[in-house]
């Protein structure tokens, strides 16, 4: 659920016909068209050579998102299951309404289970497989700083009242130990949740060993409410809970289309059918405009990649020869990859053509036409 960096957009070439008209001179036109053809052929050839690499990168991105969602689901699940008395999942991506760099989830202890325990807001970040725990903590610090800077607003928006904050990093069990070590080195203050997907899926607090000289640091890596520390011990959890989150990969969102037209005798579905599913997928979102926006995005992308067609206004159809969701899922992934490939190829072609146009513009500048040289009043009417 990272913010994807926007690709810097290369220059767009002028439309072909318009540029030909601008060139005026027939020899220039012919030369431009020939060089343009060659340039496009060259770019397409170069692109084909690295296509496999691009496809792998696209698939990797999708897998990272899937892995991330599974860990995030595993962090939330026990709270939705009612396994942690007094604590409730409030929402994913808190601060989304403010368009700010986001943490992944907010869980609140509203009814402290034991006397002496307090209300707490737990902000958390979920991570799929990680290589560099220090970087994860660094990134998280950035996000926490943003939260702190906007705390008054965030508090008014989600919590109403002031309450202490705790910061959790949910990681795979295989990364939990390194993550803890890194957090201790950085002075603590982060609580590590370990998600174990081997065998039965479980969620645990990665308990720091307190019998160490740096005990005071390690103590900050436990929850204030002891009851939560106790309960987070091999708690049954699930990799599946939310089909997608607001900031999930577009393919994760498009997967919902595999089931949207089930039980529809004529095979068409309406905006509302999809909206109902999106509402279920983002059941914690109260703002209806968010639900509508996400629904529109799914339809728009479904249309872009050629998986959804609007047969008559307001009535959509899945353009697939498959009825079953598994084949449809594969089709969505492939269509999305093809779409992205053609997008990338077009960007490169555009950049090359734009360069070519620049060089022809200087050629053209050297060869002005008569009307361009003479003042207009001297020309015969």
Partner 1 sequence: MKIPEGQYTLDSFVQYLADNEGRVFGGGERKQWLKVYLVYARREWGLLFKDFPQTNLGDVRKISMQMGSVAKPVEFYVYEWSPGFLLFFTSSRREDYEKTLRKFIRLNRGITEVWIPPDLLNIVRNRLLSEYEATVYSFISRRSRLSKTAANIRPDFDKRLSYTGEDATEVLKEVANFYGVVPKSISFRAGTDKLQITNNGMLLLYSVNQRSVQILMDFLRTVTERQRKVREVSGQLKRETKTMQIGDLEFRTPVVVPGIITLQSRKLDRYVVERFFGHDNMDSRESSFEVETEEIEPREFSFIDTSIKEGSFSFSASVVDDIKGTMFGLNGSVDQMVLVPMHRTTFESFVRFYKLVIESLDEEAKFDVPPTQTQTA
Of the candidate spans 7-15, 87-95, 96-104, 304-312, the one that interacts with partner 1 by CB under 8 A turns out to be 87-95
Phi–psi pair at 358, nearest 5 degrees: -60, -45
235's CB contacts (< 8 A; 6+ apart) are: 78, 83, 84, 202, 203, 204
72 belongs to the binding site for partner 1 (CB under 8 A):
no
- Contact present, 149 and 100 (Cβ < 8 Å): no
* Among candidate residues 108, 103, 73, the one with its CA nearest the CA of residue 228: 108
- Contact present, 73 and 132 (Cβ < 8 Å): no
As a whole number of angstroms, the distance between CA 5 and CA 251 comes to 18
**Comparison of 108 and 349: residue with beta carbon closer to partner 1:** 108
Task: Supply the minimum distance, in Å, between the C-beta of residue 248 and partner 1.
Answer: 11
* Among candidate residues 322, 306, 247, the one with its CA nearest the CA of residue 91: 247
DSSP 106: E
Of the candidate spans 127-135, 176-184, 238-246, 365-373, the one that interacts with partner 1 by CB under 8 A turns out to be 238-246
* Among candidate residues 3, 38, 35, the one with its CA nearest the CA of residue 19: 35
Contacts with partner 1 by CB under 8 A: the residue count is 61
Task: Supply the minimum distance, in Å, between the C-beta of residue 246 and partner 1.
Answer: 14
As a whole number of angstroms, the distance between CA 66 and CA 323 comes to 24
The binder of partner 1 chosen from 217, 325, 341, 351 (CB under 8 A): 325
Of the candidate spans 179-187, 236-244, 294-302, 312-320, the one that interacts with partner 1 by CB under 8 A turns out to be 236-244
The binder of partner 1 chosen from 1, 120, 168, 281 (CB under 8 A): 281
90 belongs to the binding site for partner 1 (CB under 8 A):
yes
- Contact present, 112 and 158 (Cβ < 8 Å): no
The binder of partner 1 chosen from 8, 52, 131, 200 (CB under 8 A): 200
95 belongs to the binding site for partner 1 (CB under 8 A):
no
Task: Supply the minimum distance, in Å, between the C-beta of residue 79 and partner 1.
Answer: 8
The binder of partner 1 chosen from 60, 81, 185, 367 (CB under 8 A): 81
Q: How far is CA 368 from the centre of its chain?
A: 51
* Among candidate residues 203, 216, 210, the one with its CA nearest the CA of residue 79: 203
What are the structure tokens assigned to 126, written together? 């979920």
- Determine the angle formed by the axes of helices 26-49 and 16-23, rounding to 10 degrees: 140
**Comparison of 82 and 375: residue with beta carbon closer to partner 1:** 82
The binder of partner 1 chosen from 197, 207, 217, 220 (CB under 8 A): 197
**Comparison of 150 and 238: residue with beta carbon closer to partner 1:** 238
Q: What x/- string results for residues 284 through 323 when contact with partner 1 is judged by CB under 8 A?
A: xxx------------------------------------x
Q: What x/- string results for residues 259 through 278 when contact with partner 1 is judged by CB under 8 A?
A: xx-xx-x-----------x-
127's CB contacts (< 8 A; 6+ apart) are: 68, 71, 136, 169, 170, 171, 172, 175
The binder of partner 1 chosen from 36, 127, 143, 201 (CB under 8 A): 201
Q: How far is CA 170 from the centre of its chain?
A: 18
Site for partner 1 in 154-173 (CB under 8 A): 157-161
The binder of partner 1 chosen from 236, 270, 309, 311 (CB under 8 A): 236
Task: Supply the minimum distance, in Å, between the C-beta of residue 161 and partner 1.
Answer: 5
**Comparison of 263 and 373: residue with beta carbon closer to partner 1:** 263
The binder of partner 1 chosen from 122, 144, 183, 231 (CB under 8 A): 231
Binding residues vs partner 1 (CB under 8 A): 66, 70, 73, 76-85, 88-91, 108, 110, 157-161, 197-201, 231, 235-236, 238-243, 252, 255-256, 258-260, 262-263, 265, 277, 280-281, 283-286, 323-329
């Amino acid at each position: 659920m990272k913010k994807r960096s926007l690709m810097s957009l290369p220059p767009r070439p002028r439309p072909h016909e318009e540029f030909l008209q601008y060139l005026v001179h027939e020899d220039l036109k012919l030369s431009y068209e020939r060089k343009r053809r060659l340039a496009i052929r060259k770019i397409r050839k170069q692109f084909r050579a690295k296509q496999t690499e691009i496809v792998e990168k696209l698939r990797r991105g999708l897998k990272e998102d899937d892995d991330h969602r599974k860990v995030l689901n595993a962090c939330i699940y026990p709270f939705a299951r009612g396994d942690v008395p007094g604590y409730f999942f409030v929402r994913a991506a808190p601060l989304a309404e403010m368009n700010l760099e986001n943490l992944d989830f907010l869980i609140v202890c509203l009814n402290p289970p034991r006397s002496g325990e307090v209300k707490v807001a737990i902000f958390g970040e979920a991570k799929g497989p990680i290589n560099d725990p220090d970087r994860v903590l660094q990134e998280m610090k950035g996000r926490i700083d943003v939260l702190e800077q906007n705390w008054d607003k965030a508090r008014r928006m989600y919590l109403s009242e002031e309450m202490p904050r705790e910061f959790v990093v949910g990681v795979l069990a295989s990364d939990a130990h390194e993550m803890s070590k890194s957090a201790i080195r950085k002075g603590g203050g982060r609580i590590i949740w370990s998600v174990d997907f081997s065998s039965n899926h479980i969620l645990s607090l990665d308990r720091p060993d307190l019998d160490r000289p740096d005990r005071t640091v390690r103590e900050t890596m436990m929850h204030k409410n002891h009851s939560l520390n106790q309960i987070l011990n091999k708690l049954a959890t699930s990799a599946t809970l939310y089909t997608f989150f607001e900031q999930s990969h577009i393919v994760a969102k498009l997967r919902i289309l595999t089931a949207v037209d089930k039980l529809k005798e004529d095979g068409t579905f309406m905006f509302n059918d999809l909206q109902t599913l999106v509402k279920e997928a983002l059941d914690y979102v109260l703002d209806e405009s968010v639900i509508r926006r996400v629904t529109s995005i799914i339809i728009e992308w479904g249309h872009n990649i050629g998986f959804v067609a609007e047969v008559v206004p307001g009535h959509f159809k899945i353009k697939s020869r498959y009825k079953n969701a598994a084949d449809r899922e594969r089709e969505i992934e492939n269509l999305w990859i093809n779409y992205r490939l053609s997008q990338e190829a077009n960007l490169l072609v555009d950049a090359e053509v734009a360069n070519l146009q620049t060089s022809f513009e200087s050629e053209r500048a050297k060869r002005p036409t008569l009307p361009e040289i003479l003042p207009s009043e001297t020309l015969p009417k």
